[in-house]
Structure 1
Amino acid sequence: MTRLYRTPLTAAAVALTLSFGAAPALAQEATPPQTTPPTTTAPAANFDEATLQSYVDASVKLQDIGQEWEGRMAEAGTPEEMTDLQAQAEAEMVSAVEAEGLSAEQYNEITRAAQEDPDLYQQLTQMITEADQQGG
């Protein structure tokens, strides 16, 4: 899995969000993940602290969901089973994001903004690292 961020928690959460190609709710307009931090000087994204915290909280939940479903998907016997499991995992991910007060589109918008804005990227990376150190 290509890593978008340097911290394992962030990489797992975002990569999971973007990796389910069969589930358009979270991956509708997702761009391919970058392998290095963004280097462009795009204008700073305009997300308030509460929205970013919701993103971080959702990312932590997505990592947990991804770990849970990874084992189930590894045991899928057929492509059809895999597709069914991916759809179930995707639905659970969308619910987790929405439980944090964000739509899947808002979550993806923040992810894309972080890919384009080094300052936002750094801020989210730091927030997720802190959340990881605090135990989620």
Structure 2
Amino acid sequence: MKTSPILFTVLALLCVAPLAQAQGNAQPVAQAAANYSQPKLEQFANAYRSIVILSQEYAPKLKAAADIQEAEAINQEAQGKMVSAIQNAGLSKEEYQQIATSLKADPKLVERVNQILQEKSAQD
């Protein structure tokens, strides 16, 4: 059974959305985007890949949840693992969120991250 990419996005956003709310005093996105080093973007790409894998793992569990309480418990577990994946990649939740937000406003940054992801996929 193939799970919808939209569901993966929803799960990833569930991890990221609470982080955005905590970002009250973030520096402007355009200014921040110019400051991302290649190693920092590689850390982001590693975290992103881990989050996608976790999303694939948790999507069927979330879909099969018997009720809202079970779904919330599964979602909470998934979010915890996603935050751990971000930290294991060497980023803080705030750094991950800042880069993710910057991607929305900077097509060149998207290209850089996509290039990193493609290179890593080729290595696997």
Give yes or no for TM over 0.5.
yes
CA distance in 2, matches of 1:16, 1:132: 22
Structure 2 gap segments, 5+ residues each = 22-29
What does the per-residue CA deviation read over 1:71-99, in whole Å, with 9 as the maximum and x for residues that have no partner? Answer: 11121000110011000000000001001
Q: Secondary structure of the residue that 1:70 maps to in structure 2?
A: helix
Is residue 101 from structure 1 mapped to residue 90 from structure 2 by the alignment?
yes
CA distance in 2, matches of 1:17, 1:75: 18
Is residue 77 from structure 1 mapped to residue 66 from structure 2 by the alignment?
yes
Aligned pair count?
110
Partner residue in 2 for 1:66 = 55
Partner residue in 2 for 1:17 = 12
Q: Quick one: which amino acid aligns to residue 70 of structure 1?
A: A
RMSD between superposed Cα atoms in Å: 2.2
1:46-57 → structure 2 map (5 Å cutoff): 46-57=35-46
State the identity %: 27
Partner residue in 1 for 2:25 = none
Shift of the 55–117 alpha-carbon distance from structure 1 to 2, 3 Å rule, reads same
CA distance in 2, matches of 1:98, 1:78: 30
1:132 is displaced (CA, Å) by 2.1
1:15 is displaced (CA, Å) by 5.2
TM-score by length of 1: 0.71
Shift of the 64–130 alpha-carbon distance from structure 1 to 2, 3 Å rule, reads same
Structure 1 gap segments, 5+ residues each = 4-11, 31-41
Moved over 6 A (4+): none
- Bigger share in helix: 2
